Structure 1
Amino acid sequence: MASTVPDPVTRRAPADANALAAAVWPQGAHRDADGRLVVGGADASALAARFGTPLYVVDEAGVRARAVEAKAAFDRAAAAVGTDVTVYYAGKAFLSGAVVRWMTEAGLAIDVCTGGELAVALAAGADPARIGFHGNNKSADEIERAVAAGVGTIILDSEAEIARVADAAANAGRVQRVRLRVNSGVHASTHEFLATAHEDQKFGVPLGRAVELGTRIRSYASLDLLGLHCHIGSQIFDAAGFAESAERLLAAHAELARIAPLPELNLGGGLGIAYTEDDDPAPIDELAERIAQRVAETSAALGVPVPKLAFELGRAIIGRAGITLYTVGTVKPVPIDGGVRTYVSVDGGMSDNARTALYGAAYSARVASRTSDAPPALVRVAGRHCESGDIVVDQEYLPADVAPGDLLAVAATGAYCWSLSSNYNHTPRPAVVAVRDGDARVIVRGETEADLLARDLGLEASDAVAAPVRGETA
């Protein structure tokens, strides 16, 4: 079995289709003596048998270690240029009560962008003063809840939010610390939908208005301007974009700092990870050092103190530590013009990993339940949904004898998979299991069909009184 397709093949054929690329799979992932994948000391086949598939698996020790490593790298880089740094965990990558506790125990602050994420962070015990609240369209209720909870920083994403947050803080009798999100005009070298600092997009305010709006923020007694904020995109492999963005923001920062103290500069996040063996992101300590050095050099040239720095890391901390397990259901060779494409269909898909459909994201996959002496064969891993675009891995080399019933593992799914999951085609979302030292525990319960039916009030008896829903009065 092998695909012989006419379109460009972008993946290199491996010498061994059983091998696990060290930079892609969770730290310490390996195969046992029987060829089964082991993650966090746990046998993937045993996990699938116990919890079912699809199944998200997170290497807890790997996440914790990466969080500590990231904080230490930025702490060293900041200290080297005479300043401090706050490292936030970007909850949008994947947020749960357990993850919040892992991050806070590692010394990270928490970044949220909805009322729901804020509720999870607070319920998990995060210090409100160490929470940053993002969002381009925060509701009045979300703003009021954030102010009342004592959220450390609200990021103002638009001109309109200045008065909204100021009024909420004044009504609560508080002075609310805020940052102003600014578009630096620096574009990340990534998919266009992920490049979030260019001018024609929904986030932030133009760089040319930063001083004007910063001055307006300072006119409100209920607001305390902590600094400027920028986010240039996602899945970024080097420091060049961050350095250029920092230089541009610091010009506006310097103007505001000459009028009144402006203690901080938040450069956002977006550090990338390796999804395939061809990806080569720079080490995090190297990135931190280069960014901090450019900030220091630019600050000196502008004659202002080096500001305290802040960064928001999500994927870079949790992405590599996660895998998704699937069961192969169908292997289908499909004749196409000039060749054959082999589809390996699994029991999940775009409902548990939307990134391939959204961004054309590339992933790595391996048969997890065994090894094979069969030669590598080019395949496309497809999902089970009624969409032709429901692709999990567009191109991958698996053993040519991959067959129904095999357990398939997709690497680097710790970020933006569960958080983007859906019930498309009435598919229950999978559980999330944390593994550590061979032990496994569910940290997010998987849904059942009963959960889906319970929300459908149209399935109640016709003479039953409908329960109130959002927006109704009981």
Structure 2
Amino acid sequence: MTGAPWSSGTTRLPDGALAVAGVDLRALAAQHGTPAYVLDEADFRARARAYRSAFTAAFTAIGTDVDVYYAGKAFLSVAVARWAHEEGLRVDTATGGELAIALRAGVPGADIGLHGNNKSDAEITRALEAGVGRLIVDSLGEVERIAEAVRARRGEPAPVMVRVTTGVHAGGHEYISTAHEDQKFGLSLVPGPDGAPSPAVAALRAVLARPELRLLGLHSHIGSQILDPSGFEVAARKVLRLRAELAAETGYLVPEVDLGGGYGIAYLPGDVPLDPDRIAKDMAAAVDAACAELGTALPRVSVEPGRAIVGPTTCTLYTVGTVKPVTLDDGRVRTYVSVDGGMSDNLRPALYGAQYHAELASRTSSAPLALCRVVGKHCESGDIVVHEVQLPADVAPGDLLAVPATGAYGRSMASNYNQVPRPPVVAVTDGATRVLVRRETEDDLLALDQG
């Protein structure tokens, strides 16, 4: 058993149990408990290398350089940041906390970027102290705030990129489509009233006017869980046209362009994820053609394929508790299979209606399949892990269930709702396990409560 939506190291043993990277999930559950995030280290490294290799080959072929950034918001720990950097990726962070983890992992500041639509003064200062390779400006007011921070430190000019919204609407849900106008990220390309410049142009002019700042480039991100690459090509052309127009006005051709990421992955059997080679070649061709039409030199390009690297590497392992058949209005019977986790370890089904798959992980079964809904233990009717899945009709308390493709945003969005401690992240490689992030305990929860 290999292939989407499971990690490449996932196999089914002769007695029907699942194993990841040579580790029987029954043994892992006995040692580490459930629920637990099970991360296939070799699969993570292979995916990181695949994206780095594909984009390097595609952009070298057209005569320019490319950087691949691991988007830390998908999932970040010290070990994962270190693995990403060891495989040739840079690390994109969105908060001071993510920045702290990347630095703790030993990632050089020059290989880190800092995003965020509402960076605090402390986050900006920490980024400058760390010597980050780029700060992504997300609003006009942030231009002066970064300049002030540089002046206070009397440091070198800060390398900044300006994030623009291209109007390209892409992604699996409105909440994860990030380049349409009516949302919080970036600066619009639409001109203001009475001939006023667009917010993006105003920000670019403001950066160029401040000696404390060095305009490194333009940044675009159109969404997440994108399976149609055409949106990237449209967005790239808009960003490159803005680059050419700014050069015509000011004489300065920004050296870099970031085309974002959000490449979709497989969540269900039969889903077809974006292929790294295909998206790299398509984007390189689009950049090459646009620059040729505009008569501008090729920029250095960067991309951020966050979830596409970590998402498929991880499954969440649960233990089944209550099993309850429910007769539906149309006469069908749906079996509600309750597990020992839920929306506190995977919020996406409740937040986005995201679809996941599940399989019995601890044994084989000759029972017929039954329509099931996998639900959590939280005090919410919307606490659904898998909306609809066929499981053996004899699924019973004590069975192990595994839900694949939970590496992106599972642990990152995890909460303590109902005061449930968050699960551990357990790495598996070559038949051995290693805890990357330990399981929270009730003592951890109580330690925060000052009484």
Query: TM-score per shorter chain, which class?
Result: over 0.9
**Aligned 8 A contact 1:176 1:224 in 2:** yes
1:204: which partner in 2? 186
Separation (CA, whole Å) in 2 of partners of 1:247 and 1:134? 22
Instruction: Report the alpha carbon displacement of residue 149 of structure 1 after superposing the two structures with TM.
Output: 1.3
Deviation at 1:99, TM superposition (A): 0.3
Distance (Å, rounded) in 2 between the aligned partners of 1:114 and 1:451? 23
* Displacement after TM superposition at 1:178 (Å): 0.4
In 1, the alpha carbon distance for the partners of 2:28 and 2:58 equals: 40
Paired residue for 1:88? Answer: 69
* Alpha-carbon distance between aligned partners in 1 of 2:259 and 2:282, rounded to the nearest angstrom: 13
Are 2:411 and 1:448 aligned?
A: no
1:11 — aligned with what? none
Tell me which moved more, 257-266 or 244-253.
Answer: 257-266
For residues 63-105 of structure 1, give each alpha carbon's deviation from its aligned partner in whole angstroms, at most 9, with x where no partner exists. Answer: 0111011100010111111110010000000000000110010
1:309 aligns with 2:309: no
1:58 to 24, 28, 39: 39
| Among candidates 337, 340, 347, match of residue 347 of structure 1 | 340
Mapped pair 1:284 → 2:276: yes
CA–CA distance in 2 between the matches of 1:418 and 1:456?
A: 22
Aligned residues: 439
- 1:188 aligned onto 2:170: yes
Runs (5+) with no aligned partner, structure 1: 1-19, 459-474
C-alpha distance in 1 between matches for 2:186 and 2:72: 19
Q: Residue type of the partner of 1:37?
A: L
> How big is the shift at 1:21?
6.2
Distance 1:354 1:21 in 2: 26
Q: Is the 8 A contact 1:35 1:371 kept in 2?
A: yes
- Identify unmatched segments of 5+ residues in structure 2: 191-197
Please say if residues 109 and 131 of structure 2, whose CA atoms lie closer than 8 Å, have aligned partners that are also in contact: yes
Q: Secondary structure at the match of 1:418?
A: coil
Show the counterpart of 1:463: none
Contact 1:257–1:304 (Cα < 8 Å) also in 2: no
Of the three residues 350, 355, 364, the one matched with 1:362 is 355
**CA shift for structure 1 position 279:** 1.7
Q: Is the Cα–Cα contact under 8 Å of residues 187 and 196 in structure 1 kept in the other structure?
A: yes
Cα distance in 2 between the residues matched to 1:443 and 1:241 = 36
Q: Distance in 2 between matches of 1:450 and 1:211?
A: 52
Which residue does 2:222 correspond to in 1? 232
In structure 2, what is the Cα distance between the partners aligned to 1:278 and 1:195?
A: 24
Deviation sequence 1:328-367 (CA, Å, 0-9, x none): 0011011232223210000000000000000111111100
Q: Following the alignment from structure 1 to structure 2, what is the Cα–Cα distance between the partners of residues 187 and 80? A: 29
For 1:225, the aligned partner's letter is: L
Superposition CA RMSD, Å: 1.0
Q: Give the aligned partner of residue 194 of structure 2.
A: none
How much identity, in percent, do the aligned residues show? 58
Provide the residue aligned with 1:436 in structure 2: 429
Could you tell me which residue of structure 2 aligns to residue 119 of structure 1?
100
Match of 2:316 in 1: 324
The residue type paired with residue 434 of structure 1 is A
The answer to whether the 8 A contact 2:244-2:253 is kept is no
DSSP-derived class of the 1:185 partner: coil
Report how far residue 191 of structure 1 moved: 0.8
The answer to whether the Cα contact below 8 Å between 2:179 and 2:185 also exists between their aligned partners in 1 is yes
Which deviates more from structure 2 when the two are superposed, residues 22-31 or residues 49-58? 22-31
Structure-1 residue corresponding to 2:369? 376
Rounded to whole Å, the distance in 1 between the matches of 2:371 and 2:289 is 49
- What is the alpha-carbon distance in structure 1 between the residues aligned to residue 178 and residue 220 of structure 2? 9
CA contact (8 A) 2:243 2:253 kept: no
Q: What is the alpha-carbon distance in structure 1 between the residues aligned to residue 262 and residue 369 of structure 2?
A: 33
Q: 2:418 aligns with which of 418, 425, 434?
A: 425
Runs of 4 or more off by more than 3 Å in structure 1?
none
Given that 2:264 and 2:307 are in contact with CA atoms closer than 8 Å, whether structure 1 keeps it comes out as yes
> 1:54 corresponds to which letter in structure 2?
P
Give the corresponding residue for 1:388. 381
8 Å CA contact retained: 1:211, 1:255: no
Q: Distance in 1 between matches of 2:450 and 2:119?
A: 29
1:294-316 per-residue CA deviation (whole Å, 9 max, x = no partner) reads 11101110110111110112110
Q: Specify the alignment match of 1:411 in structure 2.
A: 404
User: Is the partner of 1:457 in helix, strand or coil?
Assistant: coil
- Given the two structures, how large is their TM-score scaled by the length of structure 1? 0.91
Measured in 2, the distance between the counterparts of 1:184 and 1:261 equals: 19
* Contact persistence 1:132–1:154 (CA under 8 A): yes
User: TM-score, normalised to structure 2's length?
Assistant: 0.96
Q: Which residue of 2 aligns with 1:26?
A: 7
Q: Residue 150 in 1 paired to residue 142 in 2?
A: no
Q: Is the 8 A contact 2:17 2:362 kept in 1?
A: yes
Asked if residue 297 in structure 1 is aligned to residue 267 in structure 2, the reply is no
CA distance, structure 2, for counterparts of residue 67 and residue 332 of structure 1: 41
**Cα distance, 1:280 vs structure 2:** 1.4
What is the CA-CA distance between 1:189 and the residue it aligns to? Answer: 4.2
Matches within 5 A, 1:31-50: 31-50=12-31
Matched, 1:249 2:247: no
Q: How far apart are the structure 2 equivalents of 1:297 and 1:212?
A: 27
Amino acid of the structure 2 residue aligned with 1:386: C
Equivalent of residue 141 in structure 1, options 122, 133, 140: 122
SS in 2 for 1:446: coil
Whole-Å Cα distance in 1 between the matches of residues 306 and 171 of structure 2?
18
1:130 CA drift (Å): 0.8
Which amino acid in 2 is paired with 1:372? S
Look up the equivalent residue of 1:281 and give its one-letter code. P
